């Protein structure tokens, strides 16, 4: 099994390395740097100097950490980092660590600072040169530390001090090593982006080469190079943004030599399978195979109540359907997958990343299939995937699609799944989506959907008693699905949706709105 990613360009692409000491904002630092147009990679704090230098970075950032530099197992980087001649910016723990390692003094926390803290700039160059810092209101940073640098290392000067007289920023212009005690990457540090950009552009002399266009050019070249003159590639499409972007990249790179398989398990939303199939068929030059496996999935799931069992059955069936088709095509050597950067980090290849996904996505295909893998999005954050998709001309219906679980509506029908329940849920969900979109609220919500609760209750329809299912509506705000807040939707909107669902769907007896946040709830009901 060989892996090919888009970034096989080695030292050619200008990049910054972030050594991740396990700080809660490490990923955010990476996103800010990329938003500035500079490519960066998060590496474990203990990455060897040899490995770092192989990447030929223009700068190195030392992240924050929950540890104290005085804790027994305090994470440390390879000492060669400090003498390698590459500019360094230490953030919070990173500043304390470099201070200690280079001969300064760090005091164990007696005066912790948390939250927004004002500072006075002592020396503008190179981090605080922008006009914005002339306004004292902007001279503050988000702090979250116990230890503090008491004395900077020899040859360092103080660039900024807090009102508590702690060191907010230090630097050695000769060696181009800097430290900031605050977190420039967080929203609550008003000049934070400027500090990062000054480091990137004035100190490291980076240029803004990381753009969706440059990514696409590079990825296309790598795909062409990998596939050579004759090899064929297969790609599983789900209708989601990641697999669609992979497909459009393949299309650009090798056109007709790509084959696309869309396994329709029947659990997409109303009209969605037809909509995405139409798009793929019209826009992709390679063969597009639409496998209608709806009955097959329903049969496999008949009588299954347990959500995890549902997930496993759907995942296994998906692989089986895909595999049978792909292997029957004979001459395919490569499988293209939409793995993205957070998946790479979450699967533990970077230390300090605490979040492990519990959901194995439908569409994640096992290595045993025997194809070599191409993962062109392996270095992209989700928002970068969307930017690349937009540059490739994907429509908003795909790019702005709300997150949707791989097993789809199957985990939104509580209890056993039948075709009847599925049809009813699709209608209710379509009504809710339509009204949210009409009210211009779609872009403000993370996810919004209907749930078939599996409870039948009594109601009155016409002059008769009527027994029928309860439909629940769920709409949440979230940043990353790890936590979520239930959305305070306008009452008149809820009223309209409720009236339409009970009016237009004969069986529906009642509509309820879910007011549980996460935690303690989860976003999905199963
Ligand atoms: P929960 O329900 O755990 O969901 O709060 C968090 C996010 O994950 C999505 N989700 C899934 N995605 N396969 C997926 O690909 C799944 O089995 C699955 N279950 C939940 C959910 O929609 C939300 O965005």
Ligand 1 atom at minimum distance from 522 CA: 5
By the 8 A CB rule, do 370 and 331 touch? no
Pairing state of beta strands 334-336 and 88-91? unpaired
By the 8 A CB rule, do 246 and 377 touch? yes
Q: Would you say residue 411 has pLDDT above 70?
A: yes
| pLDDT over 70 percentage in the chain | 94
Q: Is the CB of residue 490 below 6 angstroms from any atom belonging to ligand 1?
A: no
The 3-state secondary structure of 83-152, one letter per residue: HCCCCEEEECHHHHHHHHHCCCEEECCCCCEEEEEEEEECCCCCCCCCHHHHCHHHCEEEEEECCEEEEC
183 catalytic? Reply is yes
Taking CA atoms only, the protein residue closest to ligand 1 atom 18 is 405
**Band of pLDDT at residue 11, cut at 50, 70 and 90:** very low
Domains of the chain: 13-203 (3.40.50.880), 212-399 (3.40.50.620), 418-513 (3.30.300.10)
Task: State which of 516, 524, 526 you would mutate to test the pocket of ligand 1, scoring each by most atoms of that ligand within 8 A of its C-beta.
Answer: 524
Q: What distance, in Å, lies between the first and last C-alpha atoms of the chain?
A: 35
Q: Would you state the pLDDT for residue 363?
A: 59
Taking CA atoms only, the protein residue closest to ligand 1 atom 9 is 405
Compute the distance between CA of residue 18 and CA of residue 38 in angstroms, rounded to an integer.
12
What is the maximal distance between C-alpha atoms in the chain? 88
Q: Is the CB of residue 523 below 6 angstroms from any atom belonging to ligand 1?
A: yes
Task: State which of 476, 520, 523 you would mutate to test the pocket of ligand 1, scoring each by most atoms of that ligand within 8 A of its C-beta.
Answer: 523
Q: Would you say residue 348 has pLDDT above 80?
A: no
Q: Is the CB of residue 255 below 6 angstroms from any atom belonging to ligand 1?
A: no
299 catalytic? Reply is no
Place of tokens 């849920």: 425
Q: Is the CB of residue 522 below 6 angstroms from any atom belonging to ligand 1?
A: yes
**Band of pLDDT at residue 351, cut at 50, 70 and 90:** very low
C-alpha of residue 351 to centroid of ligand 1, in Å: 24
Q: Would you state the pLDDT for residue 271?
A: 96
Compute the distance between CA of residue 153 and CA of residue 170 in angstroms, rounded to an integer.
9
- The 10s digit of each residue's pLDDT in 472-522 is 999 999 988 888 999 999 999 999 999 999 999 999 999 999 999 999 999
Region 25-40: mean pLDDT is: 94
As a whole number, the mean pLDDT across the chain is 92
Ligand 1 atom at minimum distance from 403 CA: 24
**Band of pLDDT at residue 357, cut at 50, 70 and 90:** very low
Taking CA atoms only, the protein residue closest to ligand 1 atom 6 is 481
Q: Would you state the pLDDT for residue 146?
A: 86
Burial of 59 (0-12, 13-18, 19+ CB in 10 A): buried
From 205-219, 312-326, 356-370, the region with the lowest mean pLDDT: 356-370
- The 10s digit of each residue's pLDDT in 39-60 is 999 999 999 999 999 999 999 9
Q: Is the CB of residue 524 below 6 angstroms from any atom belonging to ligand 1?
A: yes
Q: Would you state the pLDDT for residue 109?
A: 76
**Band of pLDDT at residue 365, cut at 50, 70 and 90:** confident
Pairing state of beta strands 464-477 and 485-486? antiparallel
C-alpha of residue 520 to centroid of ligand 1, in Å: 15
379 catalytic? Reply is no
**Band of pLDDT at residue 12, cut at 50, 70 and 90:** low
C-alpha of residue 325 to centroid of ligand 1, in Å: 27
By the 8 A CB rule, do 38 and 84 touch? no
Q: How far is CA 89 from CA 18, 85, 140, 185, 383, in A?
A: 9, 13, 18, 12, 25
Ligand 1 atom at minimum distance from 447 CA: 24
Taking CA atoms only, the protein residue closest to ligand 1 atom 11 is 405
Q: Is the CB of residue 338 below 6 angstroms from any atom belonging to ligand 1?
A: no
Choose, from 41, 148, 185, 379, the residue flagged as catalytic: 185
- The 10s digit of each residue's pLDDT in 301-339 is 999 999 999 999 999 999 999 999 999 998 999 999 999
Q: Would you say residue 6 has pLDDT above 80?
A: no
């Amino acid at each position: 099994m060989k892996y090919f990613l888009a970034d096989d360009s080695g030292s050619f692409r200008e990049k910054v390395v972030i050594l991740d000491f396990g700080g809660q904002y490490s990923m955010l630092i990476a996103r800010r740097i990329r938003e500035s147009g500079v490519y960066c990679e998060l590496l474990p704090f203990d990455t060897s100097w040899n490995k770092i230098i192989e990447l030929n970075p223009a700068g190195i950032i030392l992240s924050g950490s929950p540890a104290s530099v005085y804790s027994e197992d305090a994470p440390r980087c390879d000492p060669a980092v400090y003498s390698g001649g590459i500019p360094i910016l230490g953030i919070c723990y990173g500043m304390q660590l470099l201070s200690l390692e280079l001969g300064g003094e760090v005091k164990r926390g007696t005066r912790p600072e948390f939250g927004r803290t004002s500072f006075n700039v002592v020396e503008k160059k190179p981090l605080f040169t922008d006009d914005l810092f002339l306004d004292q209101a902007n001279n503050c940073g988000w702090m979250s530390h116990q230890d503090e640098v008491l004395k900077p290392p020899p040859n360092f000067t103080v660039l900024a001090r807090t009102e508590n007289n702690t060191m907010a920023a230090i630097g050695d212009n000769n060696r181009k090593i800097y430290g900031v005690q605050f977190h420039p990457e967080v929203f609550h540090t008003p000049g934070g982006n400027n500090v990062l950009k000054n480091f990137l552009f004035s100190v490291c002399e980076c240029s803004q080469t990381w753009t969706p266009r440059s990514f696409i050019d590079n990825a296309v070249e790598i795909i062409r190079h990998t596939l050579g003159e004759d090899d064929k590639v297969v790609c599983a499409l789900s209708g989601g943004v990641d697999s669609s972007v992979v497909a459009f990249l393949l299309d650009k790179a090798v056109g007709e030599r790509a084959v696309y398989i869309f396994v329709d398990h029947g659990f997409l939303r109303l009209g969605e399978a037809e909509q995405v199939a139409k798009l793929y068929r019209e826009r992709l030059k390679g063969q597009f195979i639409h496998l209608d496996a709806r009955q097959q999935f329903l049969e496999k799931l008949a009588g299954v109540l347990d959500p995890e069992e549902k997930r496993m059955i759907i995942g296994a069936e998906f692989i089986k359907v895909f595999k049978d088709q792909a292997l029957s095509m004979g001459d395919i050597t490569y499988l293209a997958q939409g793995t993205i950067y957070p998946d790479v980090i979450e699967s533990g290849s970077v230390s300090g990343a605490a979040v492990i996904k519990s959901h194995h996505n439908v569409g994640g295909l096992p290595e045993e299939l025997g194809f070599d893998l191409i993962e062109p999005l392996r270095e992209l954050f989700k928002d970068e995937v969307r930017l690349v998709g937009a540059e490739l001309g994907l429509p908003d219906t795909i790019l702005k699609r709300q997150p949707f679980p791989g097993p789809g509506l199957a985990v939104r029908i509580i209890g056993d799944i039948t075709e009847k329940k599925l049809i009813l849920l699709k209608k209710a969900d379509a009504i809710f989506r339509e009204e949210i979109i009409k009210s211009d609220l779609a872009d403000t919500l993370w996810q919004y959907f209907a749930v078939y609760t599996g409870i039948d209750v009594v109601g009155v329809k016409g002059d008769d008693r009527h027994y029928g299912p309860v439909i629940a509506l769920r709409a949440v705000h979230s940043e990353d699905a790890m936590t979520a807040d239930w959305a305070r939707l306008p009452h008149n909107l809820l009223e309209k949706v409720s009236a339409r669902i009970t009016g237009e769907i004969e069986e529906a007896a009642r509509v309820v709105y879910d007011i549980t946040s996460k935690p303690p709830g989860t976003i999905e009901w199963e």
